């Protein structure tokens, strides 16, 4: 026979107060567990059906769930309870779920834990052991939630810092239209871009993609931005910018990491675009007549080869031309069949929108790529669109 709660109380100093949802299809079990937990400092709510558990969790906060694995539709196999554990875990990865069953077995316990149960109690239960398990699970979950809140606060601060590294506004260039954006897969990412007016005649364009994602990539992106800023101000040729930047980053980049980088300078007086491509995805230039070409790599990625000698190339931009500079997160966005969005689709959209503004082309590219991958980009996606009038 299951242990029933008595008027006995347990030392509150050793127990973690919390709100517990109790689920069982036998009313006398619910009554016994409610009495036990309330006398021990817990607040409780009780339900008698798996569907009611989910409704309560969706509308009320709880610190733990204490639930039976066997219900009226499946009194011995625990199937309903196991399915419920999986659904609870999908709702909240931190919420402790302590499962109970009078028909417990090692296999059932293992399966419950595999699906996300935090601990296992077999009926008839020992009051003190049950309370001890709940105390431990509630305390641990509260600690994990505090850590998660701190981590989220830190990520928010990192996101704000990274956002400030990107240009708030883009410079105006006579006879040109510019648009740019980035979309990180995580809260912070490893993509970086900038457009800087050097003087009345020259404008610098750069984009970078740090290998990896998340905080580590974001920190390396910050180092890149800090090293690059004075180089842009120095009015250096693109190959010289890449060579100096590479030497700095080779001292900062961890083993196994690297940065693909593209740097170009537009001379709007003679419409010449001079660039150095350090292992980055080739930007795509689409001419007014519908032809297109790639601005291929002229050197290795940054952060790996300190003595690499970079080269540069140039091209002539004409009225009606569109240059799209992007990171691989855009063209490598995959659909369910693992089909890339790809450069061909990118060029097709640019051609179809030849008379549209740079911002319209940018928004159309990002929206179409998002539909292609059903909104699930696998990597950070950034792009700059430059259109010549």
Total structural domains in the chain?
2
Query: Is residue 1 assigned to a domain?
Result: no
Same structural domain, 53 and 94: yes
377 lies in which domain range? 166-388
Which of 117, 152, 187 is the last residue before a domain boundary?
152
Q: Kindly state whether residues 306 and 229 are assigned to the same domain.
A: yes
Q: What pTM does this model have?
A: 0.68
The number of residues making up the chain comes to 389
Among the candidates 123, 152, 181, a domain finishes at 152
Residue 316 located in a structural domain:
yes
The DSSP H or E segment spanning 193 is strand 191-197
Q: Residues 57, 185: one domain?
A: no
User: Are 261 and 350 part of one and the same domain?
Assistant: yes
141-166 confidence digits (pLDDT tens): 999 989 888 877 766 776 677 777 88
Could you tell me which of 358, 296, 364, 297 has the C-alpha nearest to residue 330? 364
Q: Do residues 146 and 170 both lie within one domain? A: no
Residue pair 125/100 in contact (Cβ under 8 Å)? The answer is yes
Distance CA 125, CA 24 (A): 14
Describe the crossing of helices 79-91 and 106-114 by its angle, rounded to 10 degrees: 20
As given in the structure block, the two tokens for residue 72 are: 């009226």
Is the CA virtual torsion 351, 274, 183, 294 positive or negative?
Answer: positive
Percent of the chain at pLDDT above 70? 90
What local confidence, expressed as pLDDT, does residue 187 receive? 58
Nearest CA among 329, 289, 62 for reference residue 185: 329
One domain, residues 121 and 225: no
Average pLDDT of the chain is 89
Residue 9 has pLDDT above 60, yes or no: no
Dihedral, 80, 83, 89, 92 alpha carbons, nearest 10? -60
- Residues 119, 197 share a domain: no
**pLDDT surpassing 90 at residue 69:** no
At 14-28, the pLDDT tens digits run 445 799 999 999 999
User: How do residues 346-367 score in pLDDT, each as one tens digit?
Assistant: 999 999 998 999 999 999 999 9
Residue 95 is assigned to a structural domain of this protein:
yes
125 and 184 assigned to the same domain: no
Question: What's the CATH number where 25 sits?
Answer: 3.40.50.2300
**Domain of 247: which CATH number?**
3.60.40.10
Residue 127 confidence (pLDDT) above 90: yes
Would you call 74 exposed, middle or buried from its count of C-beta atoms within 10 A (0-12, 13-18, 19+)? middle
pLDDT in tens, 169-189: 999 999 999 999 988 776 566
CA–CA separation, 100 and 90 (whole Å): 20
Residues 271 and 378 both lie in one domain? yes
Looking at the structure, do residues 269 and 347 belong to the same domain, yes or no?
A: yes
Assess if residue 160 is contained within a domain. Answer: no
Are 177 and 245 part of one and the same domain? yes
- Asked if residue 157 belongs to a domain, the reply is no
| Among candidate residues 152, 182, 212, the one where a domain is terminated | 152
């Amino acid at each position: 026979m299951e242990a029933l709660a008595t008027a006995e109380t347990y030392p509150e100093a050793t127990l973690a107060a919390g709100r517990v949802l109790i689920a069982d299809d036998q009313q006398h079990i619910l009554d016994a567990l409610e009495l036990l937990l309330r006398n021990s400092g817990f607040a409780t709510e009780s339900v008698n059906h798996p569907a009611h558990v989910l409704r309560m969790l969706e509308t009320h906060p709880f610190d733990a769930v204490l639930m039976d694995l066997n219900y009226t539709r499946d009194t011995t196999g625990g199937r309903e309870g196991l399915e419920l554990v999986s659904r609870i875990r999908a709702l909240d990865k931190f919420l402790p779920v302590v499962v109970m069953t009078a028909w417990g077995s090692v296999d059932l316990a293992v399966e419950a834990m595999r699906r996300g149960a935090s601990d296992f109690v077999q009926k008839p239960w020992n009051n003190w052991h049950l309370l001890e398990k709940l105390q431990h699970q509630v305390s641990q979950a509260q600690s994990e939630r505090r850590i998660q809140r701190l981590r989220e606060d830190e990520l928010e601060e990192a996101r704000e810092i990274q956002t400030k590294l990107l240009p708030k506004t883009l410079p105006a260039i006579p006879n040109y239209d510019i648009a740019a954006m980035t979309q990180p897969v995580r809260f912070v990412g490893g993509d970086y871009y900038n457009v800087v007016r050097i003087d009345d005649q020259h404008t610098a364009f750069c984009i970078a993609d740090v290998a990896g994602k998340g905080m580590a990539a974001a920190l390396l992106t910050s180092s890149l931005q800090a090293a690059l800023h004075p180089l842009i101000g120095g009015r250096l040729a693109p190959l010289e910018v890449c060579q100096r930047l590479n030497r700095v980053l080779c001292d900062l980049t961890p083993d196994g990491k690297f940065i693909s980088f593209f740097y170009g300078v537009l001379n709007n007086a003679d419409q010449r675009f001079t660039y150095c491509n350090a292992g980055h995805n080739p930007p795509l230039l689409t001419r007014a007549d519908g032809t297109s070409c790639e601005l291929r790599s002229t050197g290795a990625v940054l952060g790996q080869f300190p003595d690499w000698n970079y080269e540069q190339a140039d091209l002539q931009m004409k009225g009606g031309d569109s240059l799209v500079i992007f990171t691989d997160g855009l063209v490598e966005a995959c659909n369910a069949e693992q089909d890339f969005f790809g450069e061909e689709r990118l060029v097709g959209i640019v051609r179809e929108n030849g008379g549209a503004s740079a911002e319209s082309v940018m928004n159309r590219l990002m929206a179409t790529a998002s539909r292609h991958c059903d909104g699930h980009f696998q990597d950070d996606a950034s792009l700059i669109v430059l259109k010549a009038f």
